[in-house]
């Protein structure tokens, strides 16, 4: 199976770039499934029903999120009605929406997507390791699911690496979001799980993690509340990671970063063989 994951979409330029490029990427790379993290897509904070629908119409199969999922109140109703939009799995019981779901391709192959939020330097949620363990307890690669993807939304690289090794051999791809900077450690872990500490963002990199530069600099240098944070509006770079897996095992056979447009150097996976 060939799956593409795109990191946090930030603001209008990020979502416009993804919506414009995703249909072509699906064809060019012969993608079977696409997951996009959209928690910063609406003005840098949260997401709306309209944006979710536009992303799904452009070719995303599933939308994941993180700590900004509730920033737009309208999403509270929508997320209960839309099984292709996930919020972190380890929110308390009875939180609206779902943190994991199974999706079936037209050919019958099954993909489980799990969205979890880590805890170091983040809001205190339930144990993410225990939450994921419970989710996959009755599902194994090659039996319950043909592909298992885990979007781990977190700040600390150590916690993300721990999650990767915790799931090595039990998930197809474990990939980080939230820091908005693509890491260079994409690899296949010893037991066959594809891994990257952070996929980066889909947004303007002539910025401070997707935001116009003046307000964050002012906050750091003056230590006082200042200007409102606003998404940068220059050309966006689309950042993500693509994996190929063995359909017999669900484990990764190839992992490759994707960067397209904007200020970062372009890196595209090789054409489908």
Helix (H) or strand (E) holding 170: none
pLDDT at 196 over 60: yes
pLDDT value, residue 158: 98
| 8 Å CB contact between 166 and 224 | no
Residue with the two structure tokens 């009605």: 81
> Which among 50, 68, 180, 191 is annotated as catalytic?
68
- Between 17-21, 223-227, 244-248, the lowest mean confidence (pLDDT) is in 223-227
Strand partners of residue 174: 150, 195
pLDDT of 222 above 80:
yes
Distances (CA, A) of 121 to 10, 118, 155, 159, 224: 21, 9, 6, 10, 21
pLDDT at 123: 87
Cβ neighbours around 153 below 10 Å, total? 27
- Measured CA to CA, the distance from residue 90 to residue 129 in angstroms comes to 9
**Average model confidence (pLDDT) across the chain:** 95
**What pLDDT sits at residue 272?**
52
Mean pLDDT value of segment 86-98:
96
Give residue 12's pLDDT: 97
Report d(CA 189, CA 193) in Å as an integer: 5
Query: 199-220 burial, b for 16+ CB within 10 Å, e for fewer?
Result: bbbbbbbebbbbbbeeebeeee
Q: What is the largest CA-CA distance in the chain?
A: 57
Please say if 68 is a catalytic residue: yes
Q: Is the pLDDT of residue 36 over 80?
A: yes
Name all domains of the chain by residue range, CATH numbers in brackets: 2-260 (3.60.21.10)
pLDDT reading at 226 higher than 80: no
pLDDT band per the 50, 70, 90 thresholds, residue 116: very high
Q: Cα separation of 213 and 128, whole Å?
A: 33
In the prediction, which pLDDT does 227 show?
Answer: 80
Instruction: Report the C-alpha gap between 128 and 21 in whole angstroms.
Output: 33
Secondary structure class of 136 (helix, strand, coil):
helix
Confidence of residue 24 (pLDDT cuts 50, 70, 90): very high
**DSSP state at residue 7:** -
Buried residues in 140-149 as b, exposed as e (16+ CB within 10 A): ebeeebbbbb
Query: What integer is the mean pLDDT of 248-266?
Result: 96
Structure confidence at residue 269 as a pLDDT band (50, 70, 90): very high
Reading the block at residue 47, the tokens are 């997401």
- pLDDT at residue 191 tops 70: yes
Residue pair 64/99 in contact (Cβ under 8 Å)? The answer is no
The span from the CA of 141 to the CA of 61, in Å, is: 20
């Amino acid at each position: 199976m060939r799956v593409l994951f795109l990191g946090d979409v930030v603001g209008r330029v990020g979502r416009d770039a993804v919506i414009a490029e995703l249909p072509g990427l699906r064809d060019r790379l012969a993608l079977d499934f696409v997951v996009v993290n959209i928690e910063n897509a609406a003005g840098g904070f949260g997401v709306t029903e309209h944006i979710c629908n536009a992303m799904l119409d452009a070719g995303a199969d599933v939308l994941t999120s993180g700590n900004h999922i509730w920033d737009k109140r309208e999403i509270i109703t929508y997320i209960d009605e839309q099984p292709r939009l996930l919020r972190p799995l380890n929110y308390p019981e009875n939180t609206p929406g779902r943190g994991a779901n199974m999706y079936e391709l037209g050919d019958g192959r099954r993909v489980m997507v799990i969205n979890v939020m880590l805890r170091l330097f983040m809001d205190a949620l339930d144990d993410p390791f225990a939450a994921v363990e419970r989710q996959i307890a009755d599902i194994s690669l090659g039996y319950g699911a043909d592909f298992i993807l885990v979007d781990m939304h977190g700040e600390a690289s150590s916690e993300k690496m721990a999650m990767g090794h915790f799931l090595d051999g039990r998930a197809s791809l474990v990939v980080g979001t939230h820091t908005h900077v693509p890491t260079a450690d994409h690899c296949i872990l010893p037991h066959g799980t594809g891994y990257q500490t952070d996929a980066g963002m889909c947004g303007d990199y002539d910025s401070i993690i997707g935001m116009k530069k003046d307000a964050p600099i002012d906050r750091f240098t003056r230590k006082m509340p200042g200007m409102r944070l606003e998404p940068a509006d220059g050309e966006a770079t689309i950042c993500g990671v693509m994996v190929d897996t063995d359909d017999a095992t669900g484990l990764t056979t190839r992992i490759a970063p994707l960067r397209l447009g904007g200020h970062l150097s372009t890196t595209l996976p090789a054409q489908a063989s």
